Amino acid sequence: MKIEKINDNQIKLTLTHDDLTERNIKLEELITPSDRSQELFRDIMEQAFNECGFSVDNAPLMVEATPMALDGLMIIVTKIQDKDSQKDKISLLAQNKEQRRFKRKSIEAFADENQSDSGISIYAFDALDDVINASIRLNNTYSGYNILFKYSQKFFLLLQNDSVSDDISDDAIDNIVSEYGIKQPSSVLSKYHLMEHGEIMVKNPAVKTLALSFS
């Protein structure tokens, strides 16, 4: 684990896949609050104090985590000295410019060809009409878990292929959807990045909902 002190009120933490494996923690366990994630955070803050003298001093913290390629995680911890001070709020916004740029990376940055998840397919669409047309075609053949996100001015349809019956192949699904959208490098990190930073436009079953609403 790499710890960088940005200033007296902010540190950046980088956890690799090996760091998570060593602690027997899966990435998805860090997405939502849990005993394991809280224990990891306590260990991180203790190490941050020992290595660079970063102490929280019972101050409120702003913690933001972003998945990285190859199953890693970047965490920005910001100590808020005076949460009621407008001056401090402006300062915090300036300090977080680098982090906001990081979050706007394309989704391709969070998938690696050697880290693909065969149970997930993600397709990008420029327009909602394209998603609707694909959904109408898919509705009679696909019944797996699926969600529609909006992220970086595009629409992303996530299909959970491992929940589909054997009556239709992944290639058949891909042939249909690829007529309207572009398949993205798909991994578990891509999925969680969309869940964390994307906007859910249509919940599961998105394909069925769109098809029945517009056909």
Least confident of 9-18, 28-37, 146-155: 28-37
Residue 71 has pLDDT above 50, yes or no: yes
Average per-residue pLDDT for the chain: 75
Q: What is the pLDDT of residue 210?
A: 92
Q: What is the pLDDT of residue 28?
A: 62
Burial annotation 110-147 (CB, 10 A radius, 16+ → b, else e):
bbeeebebebbbbbbbeeeebbbbbbbbbbeebbbbbb
Q: How far apart are CA 6 and CA 19, in angstroms?
A: 21
pLDDT single digits (tens) 93-137: 444 444 434 444 444 444 444 344 457 889 999 999 999 999 999
- What are the start and end residues of each CATH 3.30.70.1950 domain in the chain? 120-214
Entry pTM:
0.51
Q: Sign of the C-alpha dihedral, residues 208, 210, 213, 215?
A: negative
Considering only residues 96 and 71, tell me which one the structure prediction assigns the higher pLDDT: 71
Per-residue confidence band for 209, with pLDDT thresholds at 50, 70 and 90: very high
Residue 39 has pLDDT above 60, yes or no: yes
Considering only residues 63 and 101, tell me which one the structure prediction assigns the higher pLDDT: 63
Q: What is the pLDDT of residue 90?
A: 40
Please state the rounded mean pLDDT for residues 8-32.
76
Q: How far apart are CA 78 and CA 64, in angstroms?
A: 9
| DSSP bridge pairs for 77 | 11, 63
Residue from 135, 125, 126, 123 nearest 214 by CA: 135
Residue 204 has pLDDT above 50, yes or no: yes
Residue 166 has pLDDT above 60, yes or no: no
pLDDT single digits (tens) 138-164: 988 888 889 999 988 899 999 987 555
Q: Do strands 120-125 and 182-184 pair parallel, antiparallel, or not at all (unpaired)?
A: antiparallel
Q: What is the pLDDT of residue 1?
A: 79
Q: What percent of the chain has pLDDT over 70?
A: 69
Looking at the domain that runs over 120-214, which CATH code has it been given?
Answer: 3.30.70.1950
What letter represents residue 121's amino acid? S
